[in-house]
């Protein structure tokens, strides 16, 4: 069998960057969709906004032209929203729409573009990076919580609709992870202490720890698993 091909959205930083490195180590050919992709050797870096339908279709066609297939799509690109995106009545409509454009529309567009080639192959795996916020509400983060709940259910919907075509879909649900998106909060000692006090393991996760879970799913070692939510939160949601 030819070398397996993975597409990672938001692959230039945080969890996405760690996932790209891990999948490269595991022998995948890699394509990265990002607004600012790194020109890494052996990686097809494509500048694309995942909320732009035309751009996603064009980027996916480039991957197919380069590699001929897509075995794994990692829907990782996501945003938490600006400081204005707080409780429902305080969140500007444009900010709500921006969060949903990246966190929900993005996975939809990327899966919609990749699924036809997976169907032709008779195999494929869509891995969506959701969040424990999609399972329990994060206070004061209405748009983010709602968007991650939608992303989680989207992953389950793909699992149900495409299982007969040989395609699996799973979600990875991290708790707090130290990434550029969360660094501002973790840099404030009292905020970091408040977060870590809620985690039984007593610390936030590192991107590599989430990438490990994504890599296990991408490896096909868990071939009977689809429609699952893999919680990686140091015990946060067990409390």
The catalytic residues are 144
What CA–CA distance (Å, rounded) separates 60 from 67?
11
Rounded CA separation 133/52 (Å)? 25
d(CA 105, CA 111): 10
Closest CA to 3 of 66, 61, 60: 66
Of 100, 80, 74, the closest CA to residue 176 belongs to: 80
Q: What one-character DSSP code corresponds to residue 102?
A: I
Query: What is the C-alpha separation between 162 and 221, in angstroms, rounded?
Result: 19
């Amino acid at each position: 069998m030819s070398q397996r091909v993975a597409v990672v959205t938001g692959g230039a930083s945080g969890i996405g960057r760690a996932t790209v490195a891990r999948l490269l180590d595991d022998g995948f050919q890699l394509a990265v969709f990002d607004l600012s992709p790194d020109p890494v050797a052996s990686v097809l870096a494509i500048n694309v906004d995942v909320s732009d339908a035309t751009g996603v279709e064009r980027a996916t066609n480039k991957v197919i032209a380069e590699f001929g297939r897509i075995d794994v799509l990692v829907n990782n690109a996501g945003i938490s929203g600006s400081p204005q995106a707080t409780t429902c009545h305080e969140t500007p409509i444009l900010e709500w729409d921006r969060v949903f454009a990246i966190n929900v529309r993005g996975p939809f567009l990327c899966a919609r573009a990749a699924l036809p080639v997976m169907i032709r192959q008779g195999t494929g795996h869509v891995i969506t990076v959701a969040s424990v916020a999609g399972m329990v509400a994060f206070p004061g983060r209405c748009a983010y919580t709602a968007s991650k709940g939608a992303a989680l259910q989207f992953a389950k919907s793909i699992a149900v609709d495409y299982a007969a075509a040989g395609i699996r879909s799973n979600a990875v649900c991290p708790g707090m992870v130290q990434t550029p998106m969360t660094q501002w909060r973790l840099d404030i000692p009292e905020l970091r202490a408040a977060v870590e006090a809620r985690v039984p393991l007593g610390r936030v996760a590192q991107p590599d720890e989430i990438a490990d879970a994504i890599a296990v799913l991408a490896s096909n070692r868990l071939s009977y698993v689809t429609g699952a939510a893999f919680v990686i939160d140091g015990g946060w949601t067990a409390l």
